[in-house]
A and B are shown apart, each in its own frame.
Chain A
Amino acid sequence: MSTEGRKLWALLVGILLVSGPFFPRIPLPVTALSLIMTLWIAAIILNKARQPDKLQRIGLLLLAVLIMSLSFGTLLGRDAGTGFLILLAFLKMLEINGKRDMYIVVYVDYFLIASHFFHAQSPWIAVYVFAAVIYLTSVLILFTDKASTLDTRKRLTMAGRMIFQATPLMLILFLLFPRIPGPLWGLPEDAQAAVTGLGNDMSPGSVSSLIQSEEIAFRVRFEGEIPPHADLYWRGPVFSRYDGQTWRADNTSRHIKVNLIGSESETDIIQYTVTLEPHRRNWLFALNYPTNLQGSGYRLTRELQLLNPKKINSVTRYSVTSDRKLSNYSLFESERLKNLRLPGVGYLNEKTIALARRWRTLAGDDDRRVIEEALRYFREQPFVYTLNPPLLGNNAMDDFLFETQRGFCEHYSSAFVYLARAAGIPARIVAGYQGGEKNPVDQYLIVRQSSAHAWAEVWLDDVGWVRVDPTAAVSPDRIESGIQDAIEERDQLPGILLAGDSIFLKARYHWDSFSYRWDEWVVGFNQDRQFELFRKLGFENADWQGMVIGMVILFILVGAFVGFWIFRQGEGIYQDPVKRAYDRFCYKLAKAGIGRNNTEGPSEYFSRLRGKLAPASAQTAGDIIDRYTVLRYGTAGSPAQQKHFIKRVQNFTARLK
């Protein structure tokens, strides 16, 4: 095959390598057009087709733009941009002309590799990056290997070695390059991939849809024992406004600064560090009640929510101290009203209100009695905990409580809050995660999306906000041991929630432990982590100036080391001084007309020399050759002997001149 053809094949494979993983994700027409262009390019390389002329190229470009705008509605943004980049890479391949275009295609490939990170940054992706970069480097080697002496395997080996040598430099930059916290400018709306997770509001189905997901929401490492499963209520968004269909958060009191004081008794304090996967929301998850948190910028609201000023777009790590009891919390009147409000006409759920009023009459002033009654109602009526609840009408509570009686935690919590409010008790819904999976390998807690949960909080004047979980009344197993024992339709649960083979399980825990560290130290590596690392290494007062200086120094040192490494492949430029002196000796003799043949060993050479030199010179030359044979092929001489030899050669060659 021609050199040009080999280059084009290599480039085509490169594009497919970096764009292939996108194909299942991008709209079908984009994939289809890419594949058609792939065939066309292959046909051009095989000389079965010609490169498109100018008109065809314009046509293709217009087609690409058309497909992009029909599929995405835009050419900008993350997904559309990636798709467009893929099409442009193929288009460039179609009209490739010369070395410059080939380099452009490789550079576009590098960008496409980077585009993968929008979707995932797992260890596998890192492996993929290395593989792809090695491949593309081998393509670059093909471009410069003008004498065409390297086959694919040799090129890949060479590229692999280069990447191996580049890795120490990468590590230095990765660890020491100042990580300026982004973003530098506003991100487009779809800058980050859609993720599963709790939303800004809650309606029937919004929590149960998460149960299907095995994705990890966050991982927690506790100082000390992991609290019992039933205590692990990870509070997320708080919903206090209800319109008859959907529960929403109320943001009116977000600006108020809150400082909680806990009981501070040793037994009530839980300390832990959460590594939160990006969920594109502001809230952080914590156990009740977060009294102290490390890290800058976090805020606690009146609703006891932890908020981050920016959306969580990258792996975030924060340490919290929670106290089981609070000593200073009161309810504003506006908050009391807010948490008593029921939806307007049309969504009033009169039967539910009547039920609540009946309990209130029974219980008198005793709020606790009302709550008891409600929970007993859930327990005693034939409620079913299910992932497939029937649809509810406008009077959702009436339908649920008196007719269908089948639902998931969002049904139970909202019905309970509705009942409580109707009975005059301030109540609200808290969404978050319940429980978690202990990793026995590394003693931390894995909280998956499947642990998503919603429960209620009611205000009791003597103690404050109290958590009530009506789901526990219906299905105590859900809270005690987790979702897999609680749900009836087990086959609808994802495989991961079903207990598996123990070896498989163990391997999974090991892998998760590795992923956790990966998230903490690679994906979540930021300025805070950088400084933490330096504190651990003993640099207490690390600042970024020091880091930059350290980076430059280390880079130069390691660069020198790598350079030395590269130069020493083989024996390097300068042979040992003895050999050099001998070469000079031979060179001088060659000039005198008695050159050594390349195939001649020292002794053969000498026998030829003897006839052609003056006897005295021949004697010296013979000595030199003998010494050389000993020094070079016998035991390596001492430095003094070597020096003597060199001196002797110098004398001899000087006389020969």
Chain B
Amino acid sequence: MANRLIAPLLYPVVLLRREWHRLLDRFLANRSGPFSESIRLHSSLVYILPTRAGMIFTILLLVLLIGSINYTISLGFMLTFLLAGLGNVAMLMTWRNMAGLKLKGMGAKPVFAGEVAKFAIQLENDTNDRRYAITLPNDSMPDETVDIPSGELVLLHFNCHTKSRGLLNPGRIRIETEFPVGLFVAWTWVDLDMRALIYPAPSGKKNTTVPVSCQSGEGLAEGSGLEDFAGLNKYQAGDPWQRISWKMVARTDELFSKKFTGGQPELEWIDWFVLDEASVERRLSIMSAMILDAQKAGRLYGLRMPNIEIKPDNGAQHRHECLKALALYNIEDTSHVH
């Protein structure tokens, strides 16, 4: 009832807020990036406002001032003005603590949709002063706060929840500091032009009839098989990790892959065209699950998509290539993918 009465009264406030955000966005749009390279926080990128503690501090100063006038206490004036001076110094120091830092977006490791993408930002302090208590506020994890000594690089992280596959843009990032006294907060708001690659969430039908279309001889070295152990080879990128000889690792500190001969290596194509599923996203999810499955089982698998075909293989890099292909299916702007 009360809400219904008050809501119309608040409507202008809502409008004003909306308008304010629009103006703020326009203001920031021109200055806050995106910066794909390292960006130095110039004065125009560092904003500062009193914190709530700072506003209460102002009220405290007013009360002290009025008290001093009323009781004609000279030292009261002195205390009031000393604290006012302190507030000024604090403002300058807080701003100074943020200005001049260099920021660089370091991106995030690929994750599956629904997981949390963890972005990293590199902060570089090439000035002569230590920077204290620089904070990256986080929604889903405790705020990360670091000191950056002069001449050092430090990484700060933040989490983003992901919903759908593709490229996730975290948008503008806020980095702030209240150092030294918490009366002011200085912050920057920049777009560091980062994207996280989001694989389609692996889903459901993992073990249902996997429509594998087998074709022998593609992409495989002659004579290699899966059944009879035939010795060790030095590990090469792309060798499935299931074949690493852990005994040898323990003995020599080097990686060797077990070599097999004989038999036909299990080989499968994860094929867009044979999947019987109408929804594109569902289809991608199922394929994602199949990739994981094949990878885990140590099978050799290839990926066939309308726009790309990846030859069968097994390994972390291969897995990534395949999942990336799924993630970026039908996504136009892929300029941020490395």
Which single residue of chain A is at the shortest CB-CB distance from B133?
A: A146
Instruction: Give CA–CA (A656, B84) in the complex, Å.
Output: 53
Stretch at the interface among B75-83, B107-115, B194-202, B222-230: B75-83
> B residues within 8 A CB of A559?
88
Given contacts A158-B180, A314-B74, contact A114 B133 (CB under 8 A): no
Instruction: Give CA–CA (A403, B88) in the complex, Å.
Output: 72
| A525 lies within 8 A of chain B by Cβ | yes
Instruction: Give CA–CA (A191, B72) in the complex, Å.
Output: 11
Contact B96 A145 (CB under 8 A): no
Report the interface size class on chain A.
35 or more
Instruction: Give CA–CA (A571, B86) in the complex, Å.
Output: 23
| B335 lies within 8 A of chain A by Cβ | no
| B93 lies within 8 A of chain A by Cβ | yes
Contact A523 B133 (CB under 8 A): no
| B60 lies within 8 A of chain A by Cβ | yes
Given contacts A107-B60, A140-B181, A563-B92, contact A182 B72 (CB under 8 A): yes
Which single residue of chain B is at the shortest CB-CB distance from A129?
A: B79
Given contacts A166-B88, A182-B69, contact A573 B127 (CB under 8 A): yes
Stretch at the interface among A64-72, A172-180, A230-238, A626-634: A172-180
| A2 lies within 8 A of chain B by Cβ | no
Instruction: Give 1 or 0 for each of A176-198: 1 = CB within 8 Å of chain B CB.
Output: 01011111110100011000000
How many of B's residues come within 8 Å of A, CB to CB? Answer: 53
Contact pick for B64, options A114, A141, A574, CB 8 Å: A114
The smallest beta-carbon distance between A119 and chain B, in angstroms, is: 11
Instruction: Give CA–CA (A117, B182) in the complex, Å.
Output: 27
Contact B86 A133 (CB under 8 A): yes
Contact B85 A571 (CB under 8 A): no
Given contacts A103-B182, A140-B181, contact A162 B146 (CB under 8 A): no
Given contacts A114-B64, A146-B145, contact A169 B92 (CB under 8 A): no
Contact pick for A166, options B52, B53, B85, B129, CB 8 Å: B85
> A residues within 8 A CB of B56?
103, 107
| B268 lies within 8 A of chain A by Cβ | no
| B239 lies within 8 A of chain A by Cβ | no
Contact A170 B133 (CB under 8 A): no
> B residues within 8 A CB of A126?
75, 78
| B13 lies within 8 A of chain A by Cβ | no
| A13 lies within 8 A of chain B by Cβ | no
The smallest beta-carbon distance between A391 and chain B, in angstroms, is: 40
Contact pick for B71, options A129, A183, A566, CB 8 Å: A183
> B residues within 8 A CB of A184?
66, 69-70
| B50 lies within 8 A of chain A by Cβ | no
| A481 lies within 8 A of chain B by Cβ | no
Instruction: Give CA–CA (A191, B68) in the complex, Å.
Output: 12
Interface of B is mostly: helix
Which single residue of chain B is at the shortest CB-CB distance from A191?
A: B71
Instruction: Give CA–CA (A184, B71) in the complex, Å.
Output: 8
Instruction: Give 1 or 0 for each of A234-275: 1 = CB within 8 Å of chain B CB.
Output: 000000000000000000000000000000000000000000
Which single residue of chain B is at the shortest CB-CB distance from A573?
A: B100
> B residues within 8 A CB of A315?
74
| A381 lies within 8 A of chain B by Cβ | no
| B158 lies within 8 A of chain A by Cβ | no
Within 8 A of A (CB), among B37-89: 52-53, 56-57, 60, 64, 66-86, 88-89
Contact pick for A177, options B67, B72, B77, B183, CB 8 Å: B77
Within 8 A of A (CB), among B108-135: 126-129, 132-133, 135
Which single residue of chain A is at the shortest CB-CB distance from B99?
A: A573
Given contacts A174-B77, A573-B100, contact A166 B66 (CB under 8 A): no
Given contacts A114-B67, A158-B180, contact A572 B127 (CB under 8 A): yes
What is the total of A-B residue contacts with beta carbons within 8 Å?
Answer: 179
| B147 lies within 8 A of chain A by Cβ | yes
Within 8 A of B (CB), among A192-232: 192
> A residues within 8 A CB of B66?
184
Contact A121 B127 (CB under 8 A): no
Contact pick for B82, options A125, A167, A182, CB 8 Å: A167
The smallest beta-carbon distance between B57 and chain A, in angstroms, is: 7
Which single residue of chain B is at the shortest CB-CB distance from A180?
A: B69
| A306 lies within 8 A of chain B by Cβ | no
Within 8 A of A (CB), among B166-182: 178-182
Instruction: Give CA–CA (A103, B52) in the complex, Å.
Output: 10
Instruction: Give CA–CA (A49, B213) in the complex, Å.
Output: 71
Which single residue of chain B is at the shortest CB-CB distance from A563?
A: B92
Instruction: Give CA–CA (A572, B96) in the complex, Å.
Output: 9
Contact A170 B82 (CB under 8 A): yes
Instruction: Give CA–CA (A314, B74) in the complex, Å.
Output: 9
| B36 lies within 8 A of chain A by Cβ | no
Which single residue of chain A is at the shortest CB-CB distance from B135?
A: A146
| B150 lies within 8 A of chain A by Cβ | yes
Instruction: Give CA–CA (A571, B126) in the complex, Å.
Output: 11
Instruction: Give CA–CA (A170, B72) in the complex, Å.
Output: 17
| B90 lies within 8 A of chain A by Cβ | yes
Which single residue of chain A is at the shortest CB-CB distance from B60?
A: A107
| A168 lies within 8 A of chain B by Cβ | yes
Instruction: Give 1 or 0 for each of B284-299: 1 = CB within 8 Å of chain A CB.
Output: 0000000000000000
Which single residue of chain A is at the shortest CB-CB distance from B82?
A: A170
Max chain B C-beta neighbours (<10 A), residue from A125, A182, A313, A574:
A182
Given contacts A121-B73, A147-B147, A187-B71, contact A566 B85 (CB under 8 A): no
Contact B72 A566 (CB under 8 A): no
Instruction: Give 1 or 0 for each of A516-537: 1 = CB within 8 Å of chain B CB.
Output: 0000001111100000000000
Instruction: Give 1 or 0 for each of A112-149: 1 = CB within 8 Å of chain B CB.
Output: 01100110010001100110010001001101111101
Instruction: Give CA–CA (A133, B133) in the complex, Å.
Output: 22
Contact A141 B181 (CB under 8 A): yes
Instruction: Give CA–CA (A343, B70) in the complex, Å.
Output: 43
| A297 lies within 8 A of chain B by Cβ | no
Contact B76 A114 (CB under 8 A): yes
Instruction: Give CA–CA (A570, B183) in the complex, Å.
Output: 24
Contact B81 A177 (CB under 8 A): yes
Contact pick for A523, options B74, B84, B96, B127, CB 8 Å: B74
| A569 lies within 8 A of chain B by Cβ | yes
> B residues within 8 A CB of A158?
180
Max chain B C-beta neighbours (<10 A), residue from A114, A140, A569:
A114
Which single residue of chain A is at the shortest CB-CB distance from B63?
A: A111
The smallest beta-carbon distance between B66 and chain A, in angstroms, is: 7
| A567 lies within 8 A of chain B by Cβ | yes
Which single residue of chain B is at the shortest CB-CB distance from A120?
A: B75
The smallest beta-carbon distance between B156 and chain A, in angstroms, is: 11
Given contacts A141-B180, A570-B150, contact A163 B75 (CB under 8 A): no
Instruction: Give CA–CA (A439, B57) in the complex, Å.
Output: 44
Which single residue of chain B is at the shortest CB-CB distance from A140?
A: B181
Contact A145 B76 (CB under 8 A): no
The smallest beta-carbon distance between B332 and chain A, in angstroms, is: 27
> A residues within 8 A CB of B82?
129-130, 133, 163, 166-167, 170
| A395 lies within 8 A of chain B by Cβ | no
The smallest beta-carbon distance between B138 and chain A, in angstroms, is: 13
| A25 lies within 8 A of chain B by Cβ | no
**24 sampled A-B residue pairs with Cβ under 8 A:** A100-B52, A107-B60, A114-B76, A118-B73, A125-B75, A129-B82, A137-B86, A144-B178, A146-B133, A162-B181, A166-B88, A173-B84, A173-B85, A179-B69, A180-B69, A185-B70, A191-B71, A522-B74, A523-B75, A526-B72, A562-B89, A566-B93, A567-B96, A571-B127
| Additional A-B contact list (7), CB under 8 Å, known A162-B86, A169-B88 | A125-B75, A133-B83, A143-B182, A146-B133, A169-B84, A183-B70, A562-B89
By a beta-carbon cutoff of 8 Å, the part of chain A in contact with chain B is 99-100, 103, 107, 110-111, 113-114, 117-118, 121, 125-126, 129-130, 133, 137, 140-141, 143-147, 149-150, 158, 162-163, 165-170, 173-174, 177, 179-185, 187, 191-192, 313-315, 522-526, 559, 562-563, 566-567, 569-575
Closest 8 CB pairs of A and B: A166-B85, A570-B128, A169-B85, A573-B100, A173-B81, A140-B181, A146-B145, A570-B129
